[in-house]
Amino acid sequence: MINKLQITFLLGVFMMLFSGHAQAQLQQGQLVDGIAAVIGDEIVLESDVSEQMNYAKQQGASNTDKCEFLENLINNKLLVYEAKKDTLIENQSARIKEQANAKYNQLLSQFPDEKSMLAAYKFRTGYEMKNAIEKIDTDTYYGQAKYQRVTEKADVTPNEVTDFYNMYKMQLPEVKDEISLAQIMIYPKLTEAHKEELINKLKKIKQDIQAGESFESQARIYSEDEGSAANGGLYKNINKGQMVKPFEAAALNLQEGEISEPVESEFGYHIIQLVRKSGKVYDARHILLKATPTDDEIKTAKKKLDSLRTLIIDGKMTFKDVAFRYSDDKRTKFNAGLIPGADGSSKIERESVPGTISYELAGLNKGDITTAFEDEDNRRKAVKIVKIEDVIPAHQITLETDYDRIKQMALNKKRNEMVEKFVNSKLPTTFISIDGRYDSCNFKANWKKESIKK
């Protein structure tokens, strides 16, 4: 159930709405319809309001107050409008456009053809769908950037945390069964023979291109990069520092039109063609062959992890030290392997633990460590061992057991109050026009209402 208190627990109201908007709008594909509101030169469509309500219902919300959903969208659009005027927020329109094209191609790779994808997402043309993705990503980027700018100095004292708890403790939800987990993850290493096989295949593809085949056609046939293969391997308007270092170093050392020798990166092996370079921005095509390990290579990785697990169990090394020295998971290796929960803490609702890990944990207790098992991380095959650091039974939130969680709630409430104050300060100088069908709404903010002609 969504209420005012629950919304303050989120990382800003707009975060929830933007994530819903992205999914809902791509599901519906309704882009041309009635205008619900205009904020500066930003527009909220009537379908935006309906889609937010539908998305919230899918997430279990019982609130169906259309006025509240519209006001949240207006708040978000005002942040976007102000962000675009903020000279300290970088204009990333080129990157966002390229990102939208990559997302479009990635979605396309999941369908037999473009017509099937457009029908599934209810778009008439690829151009229309790309524009929709770009619009969503633009709003998300600017909304988040402005939210962070407005709230960057937000902080709460211990007294404020206590005051927040005392004020809302009767409304705080019960915490479900939770678990704290740590992991050590490694990507299986390819044998030298396997690496040579991939490199030789890329060299043959390069020879075929130099003999007359087009780079684009070869990328569509052979590249395993879902984001660019359907587009002939092309990435446009790449900013320096955007790609992984081996890719960028190779690309920027080429002359326009030149093709690199095979290059190894964390994703696999590439050949790269520099298409255009202008200052710190460039276009490049590539063909990627992923470093997908064989069964034997996975077995070797499991054997290595199991031997490290034995060292931990025998007390010869700590889990923390092994994670730091051997884990390939950059998110957790510097934090004793602890897997972060949804709220940023190390506590994870037991029912939300991924199925593969949950299966391996069956029958284990606090302090136990799984044997090595195969999993997937960032679309790459990986091998892991997972330790149960703590088990927290379901309980009512208290300061003694959940101080960090309550502190985050109090901080989010303060951030939302800062955003609300910022929005109110902009109302007198921002053109805001709301459709007459919302005249009966009792908005929390003092929005100026000018009827939109139908």
pLDDT band for position 58 (cuts 50, 70, 90): low
Q: Average pLDDT for residues 232-245, to the nearest whole number?
A: 86
Task: Please tell me the least confidently modeled range out of 164-168, 265-269, 343-347.
Answer: 343-347
What's the mean per-residue pLDDT of the chain? 87
User: Are residue 14 and residue 141 in the same domain, yes or no?
Assistant: yes
**Is residue 404 included in any domain, yes or no?**
no
**Is residue 402 included in any domain, yes or no?**
no
Q: Which of 345, 383, 377, 350 is nearest to 366 (CA)?
A: 350
CB 44 within 8 A of CB 36: yes
Task: Please tell me the least confidently modeled range out of 61-70, 314-323, 336-345, 379-388.
Answer: 61-70
Task: Please tell me the least confidently modeled range out of 10-14, 168-172, 230-234, 299-303.
Answer: 10-14
User: Are residue 26 and residue 149 in the same domain, yes or no?
Assistant: yes
pTM: 0.67
CATH of the domain at 336: 3.10.50.40
Q: What are 208-220's pLDDT values in tens digits?
A: 999 999 999 999 9
- Looking at the structure of the chain, the number of domains it has is 3
Q: What are 282-303's pLDDT values in tens digits?
A: 999 999 999 999 999 999 999 9
User: Are residue 57 and residue 180 in the same domain, yes or no?
Assistant: no
User: Are residue 374 and residue 434 in the same domain, yes or no?
Assistant: no
Q: Look at the block and give the residue holding tokens 């009792």.
A: 442
Which segments of 152-191 does DSSP mark as H helices, in order?
158-168
User: Are residue 117 and residue 182 in the same domain, yes or no?
Assistant: no
Task: Please tell me the least confidently modeled range out of 40-49, 186-195, 315-324.
Answer: 40-49
User: Are residue 114 and residue 42 in the same domain, yes or no?
Assistant: yes
pLDDT of residue 26 exceeding 90, the answer is: no
**Is residue 283 included in any domain, yes or no?**
yes
User: Are residue 10 and residue 133 in the same domain, yes or no?
Assistant: yes
User: Are residue 385 and residue 422 in the same domain, yes or no?
Assistant: no
The residue ranges of DSSP E strands in 240-280, in sequence order, are: 263-265, 268-278
User: Are residue 264 and residue 298 in the same domain, yes or no?
Assistant: no
Residue 49: per-residue pLDDT: 85
User: Are residue 41 and residue 135 in the same domain, yes or no?
Assistant: yes
User: Are residue 11 and residue 103 in the same domain, yes or no?
Assistant: yes
**Is residue 387 included in any domain, yes or no?**
yes
With b for 16 or more beta-carbon neighbours within 10 A and e for fewer, the 246-276 pattern comes to bbbebbbebeeeebbebbbbebbbbbbbbbe
User: Are residue 279 and residue 333 in the same domain, yes or no?
Assistant: no
Residue 239: per-residue pLDDT: 79
Q: Average pLDDT for residues 11-39, to the nearest whole number?
A: 53
